[in-house]
Amino acid sequence: MTAKQATATAVTCRNVTKTYGSGDSLVHALRGIDLEVETGELLMLVGPSGCGKTTLISVVAGILDRSGGECSVFGQDFSAMSQSARTRWRGQNIGFVFQAYNLIPSLTAAENAAVPLLLNGMNMREALDRARAMLERVGLGDRAKSLPNQLSGGQMQRVAIARALIHEPRLIVCDEPTSALDHETGHKVLELLREVAVGPDRALVIVSHDQRIFDFADRIARMDDGRIAEITPPKEPIDL
Amino acid sequence: MNRIALKMLMGDRAKYFGIVIGITFASFLITQQLAIFVGLMGRTIGFLSDTGQGDVWVMDSKVQFIDDIKPLQDTELYRVRGITGVQWALPIYKGLSKARLDNGNFQTCNIVGLDDATLMGGPPEMLEGKLEDLRKADGIIVDENGAIGKLAKGPKEPGGQPVPLKVGDTIELNDHRAIVVGICRVSRTFQSQPFIYTTYSRATTFAPKERKLLSFILVKAKDGQPIVELCARIRSETGLEAKTTQSFKETTVSYFMKYTGIPINFGIAVVLGFLVGTAIAGQTFYNFTLDNLKYFGALKAMGASNFTLLRMILLQSLTVGAIGYGLGVGMAAFVGFAARNTELAFLLPWQLLVITAAAVLLICALTSMLSLYKVFRLEPAIVFKS
């Protein structure tokens, strides 16, 4: 278990809003979000469906433009960056774990894990070497050559975690990483995430409404109707 | 990311083969139809290609193509011989005549009469006998395909194979006896009628009675004499048309292009092949992209720029294009090879391969465009929608 070691601000959101549509069909997905995430912290965004959790991490991760407010990740404001600069920065500094894993079916586990390195210009051989090492770290060293359809749900999520971490990003965002997993596997995945993804110079934001994993969070931000309803104070390190 | 792009492409076997089959079909149809078209056009000038000894063809000014015979007076030959720059000028008779076969049937044949003295303008390749054998009484040389095909004798027993015409056999040409003294090989012609070579004087006896019988005058220019200038001089001094061999070929091909439905028919087949191939390949490739949209979205989220995705999609498209092109052209070439000794007109010059390659590239571009449009407009936030 890695203890929380907050040292600096990873994410800062001030009065962030996001609307979709216009006129009568205007939808307020975010209604003024104020949020800070520290490095070394695992923040969990929780709340009912449609409350804006996914929209918020999309804005934080720079894959969705906000409508108003200020938001920066490690001091970088995406709205001030060109599209290509934002894409490049995201590729170098943010890791993603998706609910549906999004592993490319025709690639082996190692190739899937290597994708962020390839996108950052590394050659295939070196990327695969590092991917195999990362898979070893997440306990899948013997499945490097397996295709996604040869892996269980938990194993696929571990490949996705390896992919999210392989390029040593400073912010990792996870969308419902355990929703497709049974209780025991979900627990193991969260243990793994805490073990390998949380560090003194990086932060982890997890969107979930799986109450079984709330205990893993350092702080929990409860969202409701596009707002952060409450943020529980940082917890003492938990011994898993 | 090239390897990733290719593995994504080939991972979905059904769609991968679907796209390749679409492009193969288009490539095959375009190449095969164009090759037959070029082969047919080549046949229209087969006789001109075979008769390459002269530099200039002199003919009536109203002649539109090689088989459009408008006979000249024999005296025109002497006028042409007197023109400055002419090394020699020889008569050529070209006309149709009916051969009576031993079973009583008639077969229309191309009769070519060569200058009695020089026999210039004869067939390009003799298979049996010699060209000089035409000087024997009633001698004719028959082309190989005619001898084993339309001019062949009836089978020896009922239901048997026809017996090819051979040296020493006799046929009847327009009520005149003719003795086969040689078998030659000539280019197949558009009408696919047998070719019979003989001397000019004998050909005129085979020909139906007409006041004028001289079909063409074949002219050789003196060394150093510019051919185009010589043509102009012949035109101005005789009032006849004079064309270089190449120019006469172009005139002939132009006539068939303009006055027959051949280009339109083959053009429609080529366009259909292109459209069907584009539709199959395009739709399958687009479906492939749609199926992979969430992965493209994930790649975008993970830092793949539009340029990277453009390269990946173009690589996928060009890969199936190259494979489909190779298979299609290979199949078309095989069909041409397998049919090399048949009536099928099939000619595959390298230019056709370039045209097909351009068409396949266009198909790839069109099929990629839809996919690229979809992927470029893709919001990476789609990855968070389960």
Predicted pLDDT of residue A22: 84
* pLDDT tens track for A13-70: 999 999 988 888 888 999 999 999 999 899 999 988 888 898 999 999 988 889 999 9
Where exactly are the structural domains of chain B?
2-44+261-384, 73-239
Dihedral angle computed from the Cα positions of residues A11, A39, A52 and B297, in that order, rounded to the nearest 10 degrees: 90
Question: Within 13 A of A120's CA, how many CA atoms are on the CB side?
Answer: 20
Across the interface, which of A90, A106, A175 has its CB nearest the CB of B303?
A: A90
Partner residues linked to B90 by β-bridges: B218
Give chain A's end-to-end CA distance (angstroms, integer): 6
Show residues of chain B in contact with A115, CB under 8 Å. 4, 299, 302
CA–CA min distance A155, chain B (Å): 18
Predicted pLDDT of residue A211: 81
Each of the 386 residues of chain B gets a pLDDT tens digit; together they read: 889 999 999 988 888 998 899 889 889 988 998 898 888 888 888 899 888 789 999 999 999 999 899 999 989 999 999 999 999 999 999 999 889 887 788 899 999 999 999 999 899 999 999 999 999 999 999 999 999 988 998 887 887 888 899 999 999 998 899 999 999 999 888 877 899 999 999 998 888 777 888 999 999 999 999 999 999 999 999 999 999 999 999 999 999 888 888 888 888 888 888 888 888 888 888 888 888 888 888 898 899 998 999 999 999 999 999 999 999 999 999 999 998 878 788 889 999 999 999 988 888 888 888 888 888 888 887 777 65
Nearest residue in chain A measured CA to CA from B307: A84
Among residues B58, B168, B178, B12, which one has the least CA distance to residue B111?
A: B178
Across the interface, which of A58, A88, A104 has its CB nearest the CB of B384?
A: A58
DSSP letter at A2 equals P
Write out the DSSP string of A148-174: GGGS-HHHHHHHHHHHHHTT--SEEEE
Beta carbon pairs, A and B, within 8 Å: 85
SS3 A146: coil
Predicted pLDDT of residue A34: 93
Nearest residue in chain A measured CA to CA from B1: A118
* pLDDT tens track for A133-176: 999 988 888 999 999 999 998 899 889 999 998 998 999 999 88
Predicted pLDDT of residue B195: 93
- Arithmetic mean of pLDDT over chain A: 87
Predicted pLDDT of residue A123: 93
> What tokens does B77 get?
């030959």
Query: Per-residue b/e over B326-343, b at no fewer than 16 CB within 10 Å?
Result: ebbbebbbebbeeeeeee
Of the pLDDT bands very low, low, confident and very high (cuts 50, 70, 90), residue A235 is low
Predicted pLDDT of residue A112: 95
CA–CA min distance A239, chain B (Å): 31
Cα–Cα dist B194/B111, whole Å: 9
> What tokens does A80 get?
């001030």
Instruction: State the residue for tokens 């092949």.
Output: B273
Helix axes A109-119, A153-165, angle to 10 degrees: 20
SS3 B242: strand
DSSP letter at A147 equals -
CA A73 to chain centroid: 13
Give the CA distances from residue B250 to residues B45, B49, B61, B352, in Å, rounded to whole numbers and listed in that order: 9, 12, 16, 18
* pLDDT tens track for B255-301: 988 888 888 888 888 888 888 888 888 888 888 888 888 888 889 88
Across the interface, which of B292, B294, B303 has its CB nearest the CB of A116?
A: B303
Show residues of chain A in contact with B386, CB under 8 Å. 99-100, 175-176, 179
* pLDDT tens track for A56-106: 999 999 888 899 999 999 988 988 888 889 999 999 999 999 888 889 999
CA–CA min distance A228, chain B (Å): 20
Q: Is B310 on the interface with A (CB under 8 A)?
A: no
Question: Within 13 A of B372's CA, how many CA atoms are on the CB side?
Answer: 19
Predicted pLDDT of residue A210: 80
> What tokens does A121 get?
């210009």
Q: Which residues contact A82 (CB under 8 A, 6 or more apart)?
A: none
B2 near B302, Cβ under 8 Å?
A: no
Partner residues linked to A72 by β-bridges: A12
Contact yes or no for A63 and B12 at CB 8 A:
no
Q: Give the pairing type, strands B241-244 and B176-185.
A: unpaired
Nearest residue in chain B measured CA to CA from A176: B384
Contact yes or no for A84 and B386 at CB 8 A:
no
This complex has an ipTM of: 0.85
Give the CA distances from residue B28 to residues A105, B149, B231, B300, B326, in Å, rounded to whole numbers and listed in that order: 32, 30, 42, 37, 9
Partner residues linked to B128 by β-bridges: B183
Contact yes or no for B3 and A124 at CB 8 A:
yes
Domains of chain A as residue ranges with CATH: 41-65+82-231 (3.40.50.300)
Of the pLDDT bands very low, low, confident and very high (cuts 50, 70, 90), residue A7 is low
Predicted pLDDT of residue B1: 85
Alpha helices in A76-176 (DSSP H): 83-93, 109-119, 124-137, 153-165
Cα–Cα dist B83/B77, whole Å: 10
Instruction: State the residue for tokens 């690589």.
Output: B315
Nearest residue in chain A measured CA to CA from B302: A91
Q: What is the mean pLDDT of residues A120-136?
A: 93
Predicted pLDDT of residue A236: 47
Whether A125 shows a pLDDT value over 80: the answer reads: yes
Query: In chain B, which among 6-65 make CB contacts under 8 A with chain A?
Result: 7-8, 10-12
Predicted pLDDT of residue A238: 38
Cα–Cα dist B386/B371, whole Å: 22
SS3 A18: strand
Predicted pLDDT of residue A233: 64
Predicted pLDDT of residue A24: 81
Contact yes or no for A63 and B379 at CB 8 A:
yes
Predicted pLDDT of residue B41: 86
Q: Give the pairing type, strands B86-100 and B106-114.
A: antiparallel
Predicted pLDDT of residue B386: 55
CA–CA min distance B384, chain A (Å): 7
Predicted pLDDT of residue B61: 92
